[in-house]
Chains A and B, each alone.
Chain A
Amino acid sequence: MKRVKILAWVLGIIVWLVIGFLIARGPQPELVVPGEKLWQVGPLKITNTLFTAWISMIIIIVIAYFGTRSMKLLPSGFQNFIEAGFSYVLDQIVEIAGDKNGRRFFTLTATIFFFICIANWIALLPVFNAIGVTEDVGHEVFHELSSPNPGKLSLASNGTYKEDHKFAGTKLDNTGGVYMIKSGAKSMDFTVNDGETPAQAADRYYVFLATKFTDFKLPAGDSIEQPQDAQTVKAAVAALNAEPKAPHLITANEQHGSNEHGIESSALGTTVTGVDFSKAQRFGTVIPLFRSAFADVSNTLAIAIISFVMVEFWGIQSLGIGYLKKFFDFSSPINFFVGFLELISEFVRIISFTFRLFGNLFGGEVLIVMITYIVPFLLVDIVYGMELFFGFIQAAIFALLTLVFAVMATESHGEEGHAEGSDGHHTPEHGAPGIPQGAAQVQ
């Protein structure tokens, strides 16, 4: 009887997984490491990761506001919840740093913890990586190729591109506004190659469009990655023009647009000033509106730098100039070398902080997207549960490491402490805020 039950369960799960695999698969993920730009304000690109960071901040501040709006000595309801979370963090910090230092380091450590933890957790909401603003890649490719100062491509002074750049997208019905990332959309990508001139890349782009939107086939043995000969390009453009539901090229002869953004094509013998997608399905991409805030190196680096700066600041505040002796010790070559290593390790912390958090969260995000793509039911739930845990753990690690480094920085070196103590300058209460020890020593 029990066996039958287990068998039924296993069967049910398999059927469920298969159903998910057949009908509910996510879109084929397009993995992009940097946060994608949503809007541009002056020099600041508002990426989806920055946008999410702002949302996390707003959520935290709203929670803080409502949690402490009417504080009572006997807590109840929401205040109880807030205080419980707060006390948990406070206890952890005080346990590590002691009562006095715990209070001193609390603001930074707790903020790091709450910020990262909340940002990680809201990144598990279903809207993340699912809805986004669309970007018209079809037009963008042509714009980049025709521009003398492209934003995404890097044009060398000799007129060729310095590195590969991939434009990826899917066929979309609409390239305006917010769009759901479509399940099973056929993705396509076009790569601008290293060492290509804009004209060569543009010719290849026309052929690429022809293969995607018409029945046009490349000659046997040819690849879209290779430079195309004039005949192929002409045939491809003819095929595009023949197909009413394909993008059409706008040439200078048609007096559409200005000549300055045109690309002169030797194969076609004319200057192309644009690609008209008005009758075709567009070639575009959906940029997720929300992406995990700390799956972006810029954001993790920012927190790491703050952590580093504050640790060094506390070190100097507590031990004065003596703190720097740890790094610049001229008493012997070995000590000098050790100090040098200490100095390097101090800076390496920034990198380890940055990439630990980034790696974990980016990895988690990729894992969720990939599992959603491959096996959308059941398995992804397990991954979500794990991510909930990892989000918390990573926040705790970042905060506690900052705390530990701060404690280490404010504790004087054993031997130096003794030497200073015999001089009578050193007080055991190192680290009275606002009274730099160094000032006393200089006197």
Chain B
Amino acid sequence: MGTAADALGINLPQLIAQILNFVILLIVLRVLLYKPILRMLDERREKIAAGLNAADIARAEAASAQANIQEQLNQARQQGQEIVANAQGIATRIQEEQREQSARDREEALKRAQAEIGIERDRAIAQLRGEFADLTVGAAEKVINQSLDRQAHQRIIDEALAQSSFSEN
């Protein structure tokens, strides 16, 4: 056994030295490598988990805010529509009134114009009639050489005129 171990190169001092080597390496690596890196990995994992969590919360908040805004928007739109509808109603009414008013005004103006025209016509007719009578008298005077006095003359003409259809158009 001893010779076999020798042939393979197993010797106790080296074995112990190597075991010590390993233990030293283990301790040094644990202090120098494993602990810091594990701590770092854990810390990073926590940070990432926290970050993801925060992101989730933020997303939920954003969603609820979005819903809120949507609702407000809907409300506003509805209100707006109502207002517009109201305004349109009022506008229609005003328009209607305006139209009626204007129609009435127009009619009135027309009536007044007709009346004025009527008066103007009557006056013109009267004036025309007067002038015409004078003209006729003058003409008749010339024709009958002043055979008739003025009053008789006037009467005849008036009669003639009355008989004529001039006044009634």
Contacts and interface: CB of A to CB of B under 8 A. Distances in A.
Given A33-B8, A45-B11, A60-B29, A299 B18 contact: yes
Contacts of A163: 3
Contact of B22 (A82, A110, A297, A306): A306
Contacts of B22: 111, 115, 302-303, 306
A64 B37 CA distance: 10
A301 B15 contact: yes
Contacts of B26: 107-108, 111
Given A67-B33, A111-B26, 9 more contacts: A33-B7, A34-B6, A65-B32, A71-B37, A108-B26, A298-B15, A302-B15, A303-B22, A305-B15
Contacts of A61: 25, 28-29, 32
B32 A298 contact: no
Given A107-B30, A110-B34, A298 B21 contact: no
Contacts of A57: 21, 24-25
Interface residues of B, number: 34
18 contacts: A33-B9, A34-B9, A44-B13, A44-B14, A57-B21, A60-B25, A60-B29, A64-B28, A67-B33, A68-B33, A68-B37, A86-B41, A103-B38, A108-B26, A297-B9, A298-B11, A298-B15, A298-B18
A196 interface: no
Interface stretch (A47-55, A179-187, A248-256, A324-332): A47-55
Interface in A273-309: 296-299, 301-303, 305-306
Smallest CB-CB A-B distances: 4 pairs? A34-B9, A302-B18, A64-B33, A44-B13
Interface residues on A, range: 35 or more
A219 interface: no
Contact of A106 (B7, B25, B28, B34): B34
Interface string A17-41: 0000000000000000111000000
Interface string A108-131: 101100110000000000000000
A111 B29 CA distance: 7
Contacts of A50: 14, 17-18, 21
Interface of B is mostly: helix
Interface string A151-171: 000100000000100000000
A71 to B, nearest CB: 5
Nearest to A71: B40
A303 B17 CA distance: 11
A47 B14 contact: yes
Nearest to A108: B26
B43 interface: yes
B33 A86 contact: yes
B21 A54 contact: yes
B120 to A, nearest CB: 103
Contacts of A54: 21
Interface of A: 33-35, 42-45, 47, 50, 53-54, 57, 60-61, 64-65, 67-68, 71, 73, 75, 82-83, 86-87, 90, 103, 106-108, 110-111, 114-115, 154, 163, 296-299, 301-303, 305-306
Tell me which of B3, B29, B38, B44 has the highest count of chain A C-beta atoms within 10 A of its own C-beta: B29
A347 to B, nearest CB: 15
A108 B14 CA distance: 21
Nearest to B43: A73
B25 A115 contact: yes
